[in-house]
Amino acid sequence: MLRYLIGLCLLSSCSLGVVKSGGEKSYAYNPKQVYSIEELKELSPSVISTSLRDPQKGTNAELFSTKQPPLKRIGILVFESTIQPTRSGLANEDKVFLSAQGKQLLTERLLSIWEQSLPLLSQEIDYVAISQIKKSKKFKEDGMNVKDHILTKRDGLAPDDIFFLPKGKKTELETVLNPRGMRDLSLALVPATELMMGPKFSEHAKHTLNEVAKELNLDALLVVHSELHWTSAHTDKHSGEVFPEEAVVKLNASVLVPLSSYHKRLKNIGEKQFHPSTTVPYRTYEARVQIPVNISPPAAEESFEVIERELLTPGLKTYNDLTHMLQWQMIQDLKKTF
């Protein structure tokens, strides 16, 4: 009930005064198409949806003009994933499932895409790696340690990490995961991204964000949520709805400005009275893509190699392309403040 009420509050707070742009064009997955960086840049404005709204005091135009300090030095505070959620705890028509360690390994693979590509797309952005943020004293003071499900030294998926599972068999319940060494900044089982992301005024973990930003001299912090899920072709026995065999890749990211920076920006535009004690979202970005997959081979042919070829390879390629497009769009928006 608490999670439902929080969700309603977030929904109502996010929808008022939000300006959206982009997202009108679908990304067409083609396994043989290798996009160049220039092609991804061209696709970015139409595939990536961007949202913003004016904060409680001041406007975006005033607070993030070139007369204000630029947003150049950034880092990732939260990186979470929801991969093939199985909240019922039983296998269904989705056929392919992951262990907790498999979800963690895949989450870290997604994070590596972010960390490798951001510095390459723009030398004008000073990207602070998660390894540095994890060393922050203030970062260690809030939240809880994330459980490490990987007990051996490895970074690649193996057959015991992702596998075919007959319908009705027990599955792992973990759905939201952080990379090893990160902190869990969630509240009441709601992912931190749901509490902190979006064009809203974030209250959750606002002091953590503010103190980490000051300690590492960051202009803004990113909150990223990745979602991957898939299903085999089937007809719902209750509704009669026909579901195609496909995978869905969804990516959300918000650029959050700490409250101390918000206060300084308010003073710069002459606002000397009450300064809201909240973080401010500069922009929020979203992309969602459905891609065809083939995860229904004959039972005798079910194998890790099939999963790798038919699901992981196209899924990771799509995620890689979307990440590059989102990062490019975000970088162009950050440059507007220079």
Q: Alpha-carbon distance 332 to 113, whole Å?
A: 19
Give the pLDDT score at 11: 45
- What percentage of the chain's residues is helix, strand, coil (to nearest 5)? 35, 25, 40
What are φ and ψ of residue 112, in 5° steps?
Answer: -65, -30
Q: pLDDT by residue (tens digit) across 291-331?
A: 999 999 999 999 999 999 999 999 999 999 999 999 999 99
> Are 85 and 229 contacting, i.e. CB atoms less than 8 angstroms apart?
yes
What are φ and ψ of residue 203, in 5° steps?
Answer: -100, -35
Count of domains for the chain: 1
> Are 156 and 186 contacting, i.e. CB atoms less than 8 angstroms apart?
no
Question: Is residue 35 exposed (0-12), middle (13-18) or buried (19+ Cβ within 10 Å)?
Answer: middle
pTM equals: 0.91
Concatenating the DSSP letter of every residue in 37-81 gives: HHHHHHHHHHHSEEEE---SSS-HHHHTSTTSPP--EEEEEEEEE
Domain of residue 171 covers 2-335
Residues of the chain under the 70 pLDDT cut: 1-16, 188
Give the pLDDT score at 188: 65
Q: pLDDT by residue (tens digit) across 94-119?
A: 899 999 999 999 999 999 999 999 99
255 forms beta bridges with: 222, 283
